[in-house]
Amino acid sequence: MRSLVLQFSSLLQLWLVLGPVESQQLQFLHKLCMEPVLLDSIESMKEAGPRYNQLQTSLAALQKSLNETLFEFVLHDLKNLDSSAQTPRKLIRTVCRMLELDEPSYANALLIASVSRRSVHTRIATRSTEYLMHLLTSLGIPCFTYLGNAVAQLDQLPIKSRMEQQPMCIRLEPGAHHVARAVADFLAIYKWRRLCIIASKQTPGWQAVIESLKNLADDSHEMNDPNVFRFEVTQVLTFDGVAQVSDMRRCNQTGCIRAYDSVLRRLVSGDDRIFFLHGNFADLRLLVHRVHIKNSRFGILFDKDYLWIVSPSAVTSPTSDLKSGFDSNLGTIRIAGLFALYYDSNLVKAVTVASQLWFQALRQFKQRLLQQSVAAGGSLTNLDILRRMRPTFKCSNTTGLFWPDGKEIFRLALNSSHCYECGNEDKREYIGFDRRGLLNTTEFVLLNSRPNSLKDSTYWHPVGRWAMSSQHESLGGTSFDMQGVTWPGLASQAPLGRPKKFRLRAATLKEDPFVRYRPPEPPGSEACDPVSLPCRVLAENASLPDRYNWSAGNQSESLPYTASCCSGLAIDLLRELMKDLNFEVDLFEVPDKKWGGWTNNEWNGLVRVLLEGQADMVVTSLKITPNRSEQIEFSVPFHRTGITILVALREGAISTKAFLKPYDYPSWCLILVFSVHACGAALFLFEWLSPQGLDKGNVPPREHKFSLFRSLWLIWSMLFGAAVNADNPRGVASRFLGNIWALFALVFLASYTANLAAFMIAEESYYDLSGINDWRLRDPTSHRPPFRFATVPSGATEENMRMNYPDIANHMRNYSKSNIDEGIRTLKTFEIDAFIYDATVLQYRVGNDEDCKLKTVGNWYSMTGYGIGLPKGSKWRHRINHRILSYRSSGLLERWSKYWITGACQQSGKLRNTNQTLGVKNFISAFILLIGGMLFCCLLLLLEHCFYRRLRPQLKKWDRYGCCGLVSISMGQLLSFEQSVNQTVDLIKHHKCQNPICETQLWKLRHELDTTKRKLQRLEGMLNGRLQTATSTSENETRAVTDSAPTTIGNNGQEYLRITNCNQGEIAQKLLPLHEVAVSERRDSNCA
């Protein structure tokens, strides 16, 4: 093994000028050095020696040009530490020698390098480098690594524990993410979307390489850009390989060759065509030799349809010039079309980058300390600064074995960048690192294997170059150039990267809406429309045996299959899988037309066809159950389902309570009980308190007949719009409340009438079962007549009932139907009362029933899903699951479900639901209107009292001519004096006593009044008799007086005499009929 530990140290030269006198006394020359260590062979050190010396000279010249006066940075000579000396004790001793250099030399960094491509050297150098990295990190000393012979072998999986610490090491060689990116770009050039990874566990870093490729594949599928290349890692095969070529001879004896054969067998039986091998040279050579064994069945793996990509760790060092090609050392085997990523190591470039970065970090750290010293008032001297730029402990110390400032200088170097060969535009390269210390730029040479025409061997030839740099914008900062490629099998073009076409046998069974059959168009052909797939189904009138003979092998070929076209939700899923996974299908109906159940100590139907190897998959509404999962494998569910109950609707009579259906019972109670009586009581209360109404009982009932019962009568008549006599209130508040109630009644009647028609139809009756635990299913004989229900035998429903409800299963076995169509037909003809089956299928049948006479009842039971059935160990399961999950996340499965399952009856059912019984929440706005009206009436009542007490006297004075009467008659009457008088007279006339004594006295007075009236009538009769005799004697005198007295003719033609009374200077005139006027009065009439 050739390994190089290049300890490059800084030679610190200090000229402390403290004045004329001190400058003569103190002159320090400090060197930060590393003990020369080489983890490689002496030959490697000799090869790098001359160029390394040139690098030391150029570095010294650079420091002089920068005029660095505080320290001098110097690289020490290389020293060798061969593989036999790379034990933990000697590695620790090397670090101790580095820390114990003689003054004024001090070491503050370590460069570890190895360029030998011998497998044993590479493996030991990798382990030693890992040991040194962790050892130096624990001491706080940064390091640089350059393992040009161990690309991606130092990479570890991401740190998951807080106890772990990221090594303080800057990596100058490519890592696992560089290898993964180069492989992904190679796949993208030729659109190879499937990759199989083969990794040897004996090669360090194999887990990091696998993880990096998987992450790139996952990231490609998460991007929304349709132009992004997407690929997938189909499978990862790992094996215990050999550590070195010398172990190959013992491989047959130890049995390790079986691991290689196992990998090759899986590759031959698989569908992958692009392989990536991450292993050492011994692994590649063993695989090639196993493939090229005489009469080996693995020979097709290097045919024109297959392509191999080899990691850099499996390529040996060139034995000649790289440009002209070199021997692959695979022996006497001629192979064309292998590809390998080769890293052309450059030790001088690595040392140049490391020295420049470290020198720049030291200068930045020095400048930062100087700034801190100035800010602190010069508290740090130059000697203090130099002490902080190196470790101050030795291995003999028992405490303080950590350099705290080393971590800070490491961060400065990590965040720095270096321009390599800036003077050359073609080779200019900006080198930087990420937070883990990994390179952001690197380069691989793409090697291509070609048979050597002169020798019976295989040569590697460079055909391209992959580079990651900030200069390249294509492929996300990378470039890939290829030319003159030799393809596998000496083919003229690149392989497809997949099988040309997979042809799978798929069994199915009719089940709407998942799978449905229809004849091809035109009849007699095998052509199907774009949304269907050609399939073979058994003829409807074919005579099939009662029990299919599965042991007859290909007996299904002799069955009477006819060409048909299959469509449906499951067929749409199958078509999408065929397009994405690149396979074709031979779709046929299962021979015995069974779903797959355990009967007669064997499986039948769809499960049996997979167990017998007669189908590669089952595509239909195959329900996932525990028993089936023990025999076959299922994909992830593509649709959920369960078990439910289907019943038929029966015609019935109109319900006797249909007129009450528009509102629920709480609404009726609130309207007819509370609202009516509350509003009636409020109306009477407002009328009772109103001064224009009952005025607290001061208005006699004969004048205004209004009571609580009359108020309720008015409310009821207004609610139903009855044409009856009713007394109206007089108060303003009570009248307004009556109008509010009229509006409430209008809303009530309108909504009631509109909703009543939906319930005045014949009600459809059905068996409203609560679910699988309904008493009619658990005890069918308790129903009269006995309850009849059925299902389809040999299905998931019968299996579930048999396991969980054996009594139900035994009863419905008497009514079992061969398929769902027969079950629905017998359900509609009332031969059975209920049908138990898959919930999703029954939901579809309900929505698409011609008469809409079907209904599912009860809760779903035994929730599960439909999946694609596959044989045990099927290689398609992972890929199908991945695609189904992507269809679900994109919403494709949901769109299929809406398209296939939604039916017209379900839509009409939604329309029926709009005429449901109205509740209190539906009528809440009307109640708010009523309550708000009552509150407003309270305000009107207060305003009415204010008007009578305050505004009425003022308005009476203003309205002298009765103008208010033109606006409101009642207001004019209130302001009229005559009206007030009439009210007063009426009050007196119809006075009502408040106690029995008053009633008795009033009765006595009325009796005396009646007696007096009778006496007056007798006296009037006697007076009329006596005056008749005097009438004739005074008639002449009357005429004379009449002629001279003023008379007036009335409207009825009768004469009236105007009588004038002159009493005490007051004159009063009145008209009396002429025959009633006494002679003395006639004479007195002339007093005027």
**Residues in the annotated binding site for L-glutamate:** 628, 797, 838
Residues 37 and 128: their CA atoms lie apart, in Å, by 12
Q: What is the DSSP string of 402-413?
A: --HHHHHHHHHH
Instruction: Compute how many other C-beta atoms are within 10 angstroms of the C-beta atom of residue 388.
Output: 17
What would the two tokens of residue 491 be?
């083919």
Round to the nearest angstrom and report the end-to-end CA distance of the chain: 167
To the nearest 10 degrees (0 to 180), the angle between helices 892-901 and 569-581 is 150
Instruction: Compute how many other C-beta atoms are within 10 angstroms of the C-beta atom of residue 512.
Output: 18
What would the two tokens of residue 307 be?
């392509």
| Contacts of 245 by beta carbon, 8 Å cutoff, 6+ apart | 119, 281, 282, 285
Residues 193 and 495: their CA atoms lie apart, in Å, by 12
Residues 6 and 35: their CA atoms lie apart, in Å, by 8
| Contacts of 194 by beta carbon, 8 Å cutoff, 6+ apart | 231, 232, 234, 271, 272, 273, 274, 497, 498
Q: 244-261 burial, b if ≥16 CB within 10 A, otherwise e?
A: bbebbeebeeeebbebbe
For 703, the 3-state DSSP assignment is: coil
What would the two tokens of residue 939 be?
């305000």
Binding-site annotation, residues = 628, 797, 838
Pairing assessment for the beta strands 442-451 and 429-431 based on DSSP bridges: unpaired
Alpha carbon separation from 886 to 218, 573, 577, 889 (Å, rounded):
12, 12, 11, 5
What would the two tokens of residue 2 be?
């050739």
H helices then E strands: how many in the chain?
35, 34
For 583, the 3-state DSSP assignment is: strand
For 293, the 3-state DSSP assignment is: coil
| Helix boundaries (H) for 190-241 | 206-222
Q: 1042-1078 burial, b if ≥16 CB within 10 A, otherwise e?
A: beebeeeeeeeeeebbebbeeeeeeeeeeeeebeebe
| Residue 181 amino acid letter | R
Residues 1037 and 517: their CA atoms lie apart, in Å, by 132
| Contacts of 1010 by beta carbon, 8 Å cutoff, 6+ apart | none
Backbone phi, psi, residue 795, to 5°: -120, 180
Residues 718 and 743: their CA atoms lie apart, in Å, by 10
872 close to 632: Cβ distance less than 8 angstroms: yes
Local structure of residue 174 (DSSP, 8 states):
-
State the burial class of residue 884 (Cβ atoms within 10 Å of its Cβ: 0-12, 13-18, 19+): buried
Residues 758 and 917: their CA atoms lie apart, in Å, by 10
1045 close to 1086: Cβ distance less than 8 angstroms: yes
Residues 857 and 766: their CA atoms lie apart, in Å, by 9
Pairing assessment for the beta strands 4-6 and 110-114 based on DSSP bridges: antiparallel
| Contacts of 859 by beta carbon, 8 Å cutoff, 6+ apart | 644, 770, 771
